Structure 1
Amino acid sequence: MSTDFVFDGLNGPYKEADAVNPVSYYGKSKVLAEELIKNSNANYAILRTILVYGISNDMSRSNIVLWAKGALEKASPINVVNDQWRMPTLAEDLAEACLLAVEQDAQGIYHISGKDYMSIADLVRKVAEYWKLDHSFY
C-alpha cells in the first residue's frame, strides 16, 4: 500500500507513470519503500490510494468523514482547506481492489481511488449534506 503523498500535488490527478516528487517525510518514506520493493526480485503490486474513509462499529482510528461528521454534529468550528483536491476512497472499494490485485496476480503500480475529484471543503459539505447537518459556520 502506498499513497498519493508520493507526489507534490501541483499537477494532479496523477497517472501511475508520472514522476514522484514527495514534499513530506511521509511521502519520501513511501517513495523509498516503493523503490525497495521495485528493486527487489519479488513480483509486486503497489497500490497507491487517496484519503481513505469508511464507517465501522469498531474503528481503531477516525478518518476525515467521521471527523467532519462529529464536528458538525457538535456545531464545533472547523477549519478545512479549499485548495487541496483529492479523490476520496471508500475503504470497502480499496479492500476490493486489493483482493482483485491478488486474484489477478497484478504486477506494477496502480492508483486506487474514488472517481470524484473534490476539494476538502467540498468533501465536508458532502458529509454535511449526507447527514443533513448544518455546515454554514465553517
Structure 2
Amino acid sequence: MGEERKRVLVVGGTGYLGQHLLEGLAGANGESRCDLAFTHHRPIPPQELIDAVSPVLPFRVDLITGDGFDAITAKFGQPHTVVNCAALSVPRVCETDPVAAMATNLPSSLVNWLSSFSNQKTLLIHLSTDQVYDGTKSFYKEEDATNPVNMYGSSKVAAEQFIMAKYPNYTILRSSIIYGPQTISPVAKSLPIQWIDSVLSPGQEVEFFHDEFRCPVYVKDMVNVILTLIKKWISEGKQMQLLLNVGGRDRVSRVQMAETVATIRGYDHLLIKSVSASLVSKPQMTSAACLELPYERCTVPGY
C-alpha cells in the first residue's frame, strides 16, 4: 500500500493570501503529494480559481455558525493541516461593526470542529496581524505585550488567546501588511501597491503619512513561510506551539512606499505630499491617504 496522501485545507481560500497559498500548494503538489480543499463564503466559488489549482475541493462554510464543516469531514476527511486565512480585516469595517469583527475573526467554530476529531493532530496555522501591538516602539518581539489600538487588532488578540487556550497544535503568524500581484480571481479588497499606483497615475497630488510605519511582506514570501511549516509538520509530525512575527526586512512609512512605487512606475515624486497620521482624526482630513481602505491608521511601526 502507498503512503497516505496528506490533506491541506485553506480556510478563506478565495481571499488574497488564500488564493496565493492555494497556487503555492498546487505548484508544490508533486513534491508534497497533498490533497487540497478550501472554504469560501460566497454562494459559488470562483471557477477560474478552481481551474487553476485543480484538483481541489471547494466547500461553502459559515465560520460564525460552523455550518459546512460536517461536509468537509464527510467528503475530505480530517485535514493534516488547516491554514486559516479568513478574517474581517478592513479596520474601518471592524470599527463600524465590532460584533461582526469578533464573531468572524475569533475562530471558535473552526477550533471546535478540529477538536471534534479524537486525535486532535491537525496542525492549525492561523494568520494574525502586527496590529496586535500598540505602535509605541519599533522592532517588536513575539514576547512583547499586545495592546491593540483598533478593533481589528483586538479581535486578533482574542483569536490568538482562544487558540492557545483551546487547541494543542498551532502556529500563529503575526503578519505585517501583505503586498504583491492580484489574485487569479480578483479580490474586491483594495491592495496596497495597486492602490498607490492607481492614485498616483492620474498625475494629481496625493497625501501620504510620513509617521506611520509597517514592515511590508511580499505575498510569495508569506506563502513560502506557510509551505515550510506544512512540510515540517508533515515530515516530522511533532506538535507545534509557535507564535511568530512575519514581516519584511524594511521598516517603511506610507510616504516611502509611495516613493518606491513612483520610482518604479516613473511618476513625479512631487505628487507625493507628506502629512502626519495625527491628522486622520480631524473631520476636514479628506486626503486619499486616510480614506482608502488599506490606509486606515493602525499606528504600528513595524517589528
Please tell me the TM-score bracket, short chain as reference.
over 0.9
Q: Compute the RMSD of aligned alpha carbons.
A: 1.4
Counting only pairs closer than 5 Å after superposition, residues 76-115 of structure 1 correspond to structure 2 as 76-105=204-233, 106-115=240-249
**Which 5+ residue runs of structure 1 have no aligned equivalent?**
none
Q: Which residue of 2 aligns with 1:65?
A: 193
Distance 2:249 2:162 in 1: 29
Is the CA contact 1:2–1:48 (under 8 Å) kept in the aligned structure 2?
Answer: yes
1:32-51 matches, within 5 Å, as 32-51=158-177
The Cα of 1:65 is off from its aligned counterpart by 0.9
Equivalences, count: 138
**Partner amino acid for 1:127?**
V
Structure 1 or 2, whichever has the larger Rg, is: 2
In the TM superposition, what whole-angstrom CA distance separates every residue of 1:54-112 from its partner, at most 9, and x where no partner exists? 11264303311110011111124322101011111111111111111222235310111
Deviates more, 1:99-108 or 1:45-54: 99-108
Q: Does 1:17 align with 2:143?
A: yes
Q: Please identify runs of 4+ aligned residues in structure 1 that moved more than 4 A.
A: none
**2:186 aligned partner, one-letter code:** M
Equivalents in 2 of 1:116, 1:59: separation in Å?
Answer: 27
Asked if 2 retains the 8 angstrom alpha-carbon contact of 1:53 and 1:89, the reply is: yes
**1:8: Cα distance to partner?**
0.4
Deviation of 1:17 after TM superposition, in Å, equals 1.0
Is it true that 1:7 corresponds to 2:133 in the alignment? yes
TM-score (norm 1): 0.92
Partner of 1:122: 256
* Distance in 2 (alpha carbons) for counterparts of 1:42 and 1:75: 53
Higher relative contact order (CA closer than 8 Å, sequence separation 6+): 1
User: 1:109, 1:76 → 2: CA distance?
Assistant: 42
Overall identity of the aligned pairs, in %: 33
Per the normalisation by structure 2, the TM-score is: 0.44
